[in-house]
Structures are given as C-alpha cells and as structure tokens.
C-alpha cells in the first residue's frame, strides 16, 4: 500500500531543523497560507513571516515560527530554506514581548534616523513569536 505522507526538510544556515514525514504541512507564503499534502503539484514559493504547522496522524502537531525563505515542492517532498526558524518551545515569550514593545516605541517616535523597514520587520518577528506561544 502506498504511503500518503510527504517528506519535509526544513534547513537554516545553522541547522537541519526538521527531516521527516508529514500528512499535512501548512505554511505562510507571500500570497497567503498554503497546505501541502502528498501528491501536491510541484511549485516554488516565497515564504513570509509566519507559523508552519506540521501535522502527522498519531503525533502531536509540531509548530515553528519561520521568518521568510523559500519552499520547493516536488516529487521528493518539501524543502524549506530559511534564514531563521524556531520551534515553539525555543521561543522566550517575555523576550518576544519586550522586542514588540521596543519596535512599537521606535515606530511611534518616527525619528529622522529611524530605519522603518527594520523596525517593522522586528515588530513582525515579535508578533509571530508571541502568536505561536499563545
């Protein structure tokens, strides 16, 4: 009988974060959330900041914060390449809340030397981390 699972590899510059099989992988792309199962049409997509959910029957769902990158879906499965990815249990909620406050303060002051894009990305990262932990 054929296995209806898809292979998933999540790779960052620092580690191979995940290498296994899943029934369903849900990830945030630049055009919205996408769910990938065995037999999905091949594609390459740009990832946005968001939560990746890995579902496999008989196992607890795994969730991770993923901060951009690319996903390639083909006959071998899914390969995710990202600069930063963190499992939910690796996130320090207090630190994420502090980062959110700092980013919001920077954005509200709008000083001449403010790097708006950098502050917005810091806020977005903090919000993804907080959302994953709650």
Q: List, for residues 70-122, the tens digit of each pLDDT value.
A: 999 997 799 999 999 999 999 999 999 999 999 998 888 877 777 888 889 99
Alpha-carbon separation of residue 23 from 20, 57, 93, 98 (angstroms): 11, 7, 29, 36
Domain check: are 37 and 21 in the same one? yes
What does the alpha-carbon distance between residue 109 and residue 114 come to, in Å, rounded to a whole number? 9
Q: What is the pTM of this model?
A: 0.86
Domain check: are 16 and 76 in the same one? yes
The percent of residues above 70 in pLDDT, for the chain, comes to: 99
What CATH code is carried by the domain that includes residue 70? 2.60.15.10
Count CB atoms within 10 A of the CB of residue 7. 16
Domain check: are 80 and 37 in the same one? yes
Give domain status of residue 1, yes or no: no
């Amino acid at each position: 009988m054929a296995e209806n699972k898809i292979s998933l590899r999540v790779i960052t510059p620092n580690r191979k974060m995940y290498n296994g099989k899943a029934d369903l992988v849900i990830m945030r792309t630049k055009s919205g959330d996408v769910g990938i199962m065995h037999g999905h049409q091949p594609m390459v997509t740009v990832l946005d900041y968001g939560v990746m959910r890995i579902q496999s029957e008989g196992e607890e769902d795994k969730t991770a914060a993923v901060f951009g990158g690319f996903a390639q879906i083909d006959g071998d499965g899914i390969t995710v390449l990202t600069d930063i990815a963190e499992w939910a249990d690796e996130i320090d909620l207090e630190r994420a809340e502090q980062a959110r406050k700092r980013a919001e303060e920077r954005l509200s002051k709008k000083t001449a030397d403010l790097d708006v894009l950098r502050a917005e990305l810091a806020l977005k990262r903090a919000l993804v981390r907080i959302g994953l932990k709650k």
